[in-house]
Structure 1
Amino acid sequence: MEDTIAAISTAFGEGGIGIIRISGEGSLEVMKQVFVPAVKGEPENRKMTYGHIVDPDNGQTIDEVLCVWMKGPRTYTAEDLVEIDCHGGMVPLRKTLELVLRKGARLAEKGEFTKRAFLNGRIDLSQAEAVIDLIRARADKTYDVAIDQLEGSLSKRIREIRKMLMDALVNLTVNIDYPDEDIEELTYSKLSKALEEVMLQVNELLDSASTGRIINEGLKVAIIGKPNVGKSSLMNALLRESRAIVTEIPGTTRDTIEETLSIKGIPVVLTDTAGIRDTEDRIETIGIERSKKSFNEADLVILVIDGSSPLSQEDRQIMEYVDSGKTITIVNKDDLGHVTTAEDVRALLPGLQVIKTSMDRGSGLAELENAIVSRVYKGDIKQNESCMVTNVRHKALLEDAQQSLSDAMALTHEGEPLEIIEIDVNSAYEALGEIIGEAVGDDILDEVFSRFCLGK
């Protein structure tokens, strides 16, 4: 924390501007050594200044830049901070960074700027993790949730739950340490009610975890069916581009094709699989095995059936594989007639959601997209998406808190001594504290910030 750190904070490659960030107590001194303003004078706090980066050892001009010094703590890291706006090419950025490192800074570690923001108390750990989610967001909903968490929506919720647990812990401690004093006695029924209220809050957050994971990582959707039913056409229609080859020859798609898209703001990882059928073609057989693996691992399966022809033995075999609970079936080629109907499909798989489509006409696509989004939200989480749990670490800690609360409630119901109950209540309190970074170990911090890029 005593070091002055520096790194390139923009993406590698060519661009209009590339930014080098310097943070720490010595950042202004480093700036003075390498930056020559066009108009002489002392740097002013938060004033962007035009000038040049010049190597003081040989007088060589490295780049024409804009430079700003910002005095802490009102900065990203809550320390003195310098940003140098260079031309966005690798050579000027590299040469400028090398000079900055020679003049007293060291190269920042991954995520060290954000880590300092956390260690200096500007943000908590869940907000720091939201930064990387924001950077990696691939769809609007991912971005929206990350922004809300960066603003502290999840932190606020966790602190509210911890406050409820702290009140319970205070009452437990007082009744344990001062049993003979004139204080209100903590009854088991009162304690049980308090713990039930906390459990309700924890369970509500955990209920959002599956939807939160999908919003953060993307919904894995596998398109399956026998050859030549329109799987690749469906993929191209959802992507709004010709990504998969479409022909009338069965077996054209011989391997899985994966693409990422956004459907109504939800990130979707779409996999077009090889048509599943019996074949002696060795390459196609490998593709079919990969197809089966893809739809077994998928969050959602779209089963495509050719509605212009009767259900075949291949169709029936594929339908034996699928889980109707995570499957949407589309009866495709609606423009060619209705030989196989939705009722025919539901007769084999009762309760299955069936949608009629025509890839040539584009009909049914809007209904399919709405059905996909509905599966993500499950109809009851959409209104609370800002407080969704999207992080695997957070989910694991909430599960730890849930288990500790469950144990404490069981002990309370059995009338066990308050000293024993206090242990589990405190464990739940500590687990929730780790989400926002209170009493968290260095190993956890290192693991969290190792996922960041240099310069952030």
Structure 2
Amino acid sequence: MIQEDTISAVTTAPGNAAIGIVRISGADALQIADQMFFAASGKKLETYPSHTMVYGFVRDREGRDIDEVLTVYMKAPRSYTAEDVIEIQCHGGMQSIRQILALTYYYGARPAEPGEFTKRAFLNGRIDLVQAESVMDIINSKSAAALKIAVQQQEGFLSKKLKEVRRKLRDVIVHLEAVIDYPEEDIEDVTYYEVKNSISGAAKEVAVLLEGAHTGKILKEGLRTAIIGRPNVGKSSLLNTLLKEDRALVSEYEGTTRDVIEEQLVIGGVPVLLADTAGIHDTKDFVEKLGVERSRAFLDKAELILVVLDGTQPLTSDDETILAAIKGKNAVFVVNKTDLAESIITKTLAERFAPENVIEISAKTKEGIDRLESWLKEYVYGSSRQSDEEIYIQNERQINLLRQAADSLKDAVEAAENRLPYDCLTIDVDRALTLMGEITGETVRDEIINEIFARFCVGK
């Protein structure tokens, strides 16, 4: 599905830099390059082996040198787009890049649309839609773990698994259609039994993928976490300890933090959007009261709550108000100030909440911080999902489609259990097959493809 027109764009970030790259892709890429690039050797680009870096100059229409460059010709289909591709590496000054790009337009290329190079790679069959979407995930990765997952998706980990499941479902449909066309009453029991087992097996594999979606989204977007507690329990000290810097003001006086302080960091390999909130309690101070209101509002947005409590004091009415406010939310209870005295509230908290969610620390001496980080890592990954072979889906579009496919497979299993007509089973299985095909791009509509690539940056 090689495109007829030729496109070009700057593929490096805007602004002055050491190097700038202009990419040309399409049937006329070599012809366009030959009119503006002149190798120092005097040879034409096509005389060099594909993927060879060639030294020379880009010259304007009057034959004047614009820049000293390195140019590489990547012959189709061994290129990013599976088309003929030329990449010109020039100095990173804006004037040089602009003039070289303008020359590509003059000699016949048109400006590339956002994501069009990757879109062509998809349309030309070099990559599937999962691999295409992973390109932006690689660019936007917030942690080493998120980058690793994105690279795995680009290498086809998820695509391979989905193709395996789709193959099994196609076999189910073929089986059912064969029985419909050639009915035999004596194989009916066997048919329902085999079909149910096959669909259940596929449903379990889909369920495993969905289990990893929570982890994938956190690693991609960051775990939105709020540190809450009444004044002077050590919330800001905990923030500073996790950040390994004095970001928040720490004082022995109450009400020091009067607003929400947000920071991004990586804890135990997990990207975290961490917010230190104003101490939640009753106050008549107008500014502090606004901070408390913002803290309460932030609780609704946070996925995880770090409830900080003073382990040297009994639970107060303000503590109880906070504990009531987080009812039903994901929370870990951090008992602070263990360097001053043995905690007198840990046992009480462990009885009211899960004991594994109560962690004693000293924000001052950093004792227990490693246990908090381990807890956080297990919260994100789960206790049994940390191998290199695990697949974590990060993309919301893919997650939604997979959830719908799971619902269809559930309906198909129930239909087999209730011995509904084979046509009913086929409809549900075929829907799941189509939905998973939309993830990889095998059954996706053109408008969805256009919408996906429109989110990419120009040059990618």
Tell me the TM-score range normalised by the shorter chain: over 0.9
Instruction: Tell me by how many angstroms 1:222 deviates.
Output: 0.9
1:224 Cα shift?
Answer: 0.6
Q: Which residue of 2 aligns with 1:2?
A: 4
Q: 1:368 to 1:174 in 2, by over 3 A?
A: same
Q: How many residues align?
A: 455
1:349-360 alignment runs, 5 A limit: 349=353, 351=355, 353-360=357-364
Q: Residue 316 of structure 1 aligns with which residue? A: 320
Tell me the residue number matched to 1:150: 154
**1:370 maps to 2:402:** no
Q: What is the distance in 1 between the residues matched to 2:421 and 2:338?
A: 69
CA distance in 1, matches of 2:389, 2:143: 14
Aligned pair in 2 of structure 1 residues 279, 122: CA closer, same or farther (>3 Å)?
same
Matches within 5 A, 1:48-197: 48-56=53-61, 58-179=62-183, 187-197=191-201
Greater alpha carbon shift after TM alignment, 242-251 vs 335-344: 335-344
Amino acid at match of 1:11: A
For residues 253-300 of structure 1, the C-alpha deviation after alignment (integer angstroms, 9 at most, x for no partner) is: 222121111122221111111111212333332322221222232222
Measured after TM superposition, the shift of residue 160 of structure 1 is: 0.4
Q: Check whether the contact 1:311–1:340 (CA below 8 A) recurs between aligned residues.
A: no
Q: CA deviation at 1:336?
A: 2.4
**Which residue in 2 is equivalent to 1:34?**
36
Q: Which ranges in structure 2 are unaligned for 5 or more consecutive residues?
A: none
Q: CA offset at residue 237 of structure 1? A: 1.2
Does the alignment pair 1:25 with 2:27? yes
Determine if contact 1:329/1:352 at 8 Å carries over to the other structure: no
Which AA in structure 1 matches 2:57?
H
Normalised to the residue count of structure 2, the TM-score between the two structures is: 0.93
Instruction: Output one character per residue of 1:285-329: Cα deviation in whole Å (capped at 9) or x when no partner.
Output: 232222122223222211111233443222221121124762112
Q: What letter matches 2:58 in structure 1?
A: I
Distance 1:372 1:301, change over 3 A: same
Q: Which moved more, 1:410-419 or 1:264-273?
A: 410-419
1:34 is displaced (CA, Å) by 1.6
Q: Percent identity?
A: 45
> Is the contact made by 1:148 and 1:386 (CA closer than 8 Å) also made in structure 2?
no
Aligned to 1:251: 255
Query: Does 1:16 pair with 2:18?
Result: yes
Q: Is the 8 A contact 1:256 1:271 kept in 2?
A: yes
Whether 1:216 and 2:216 are equivalent positions in the alignment is no
Which of the residues 210, 226, 236 maps onto 1:232?
236
Q: CA deviation at 1:183?
A: 10
Q: 1:421-440 maps to which residues of 2 (within 5 A)? A: 421-440=425-444
- Say yes or no: does 1:409 pair with 2:388: no
**Alignment-mate amino acid for residue 397 of structure 1:** L
8 Å Cα contact 1:126/1:154 also seen in 2: yes
What secondary structure, in the 3-state scheme, does the structure 1 residue paired with 2:35 have?
A: helix
Distance 1:183 1:318 in 2: 62
Cα separation, 2, equivalents of 1:5 and 1:422: 44
Equivalent of residue 447 in structure 2, options 440, 443, 448: 443
Of the three residues 287, 290, 294, the one matched with 2:294 is 290
Is residue 330 of structure 2 the alignment partner of residue 326 of structure 1?
A: yes
Q: Which secondary structure state, in structure 1, belongs to the residue aligned with residue 333 of structure 2?
A: strand
Q: 1:319 to 1:352 in 2, by over 3 A?
A: farther
Q: Determine helix, strand or coil for the equivalent of 1:271.
A: strand
CA positional deviation for 1:69: 0.9
Paired with 2:320 and 2:96, the residues of 1 have a C-alpha distance of 63
Residue in 2 that maps onto 1:263: 267
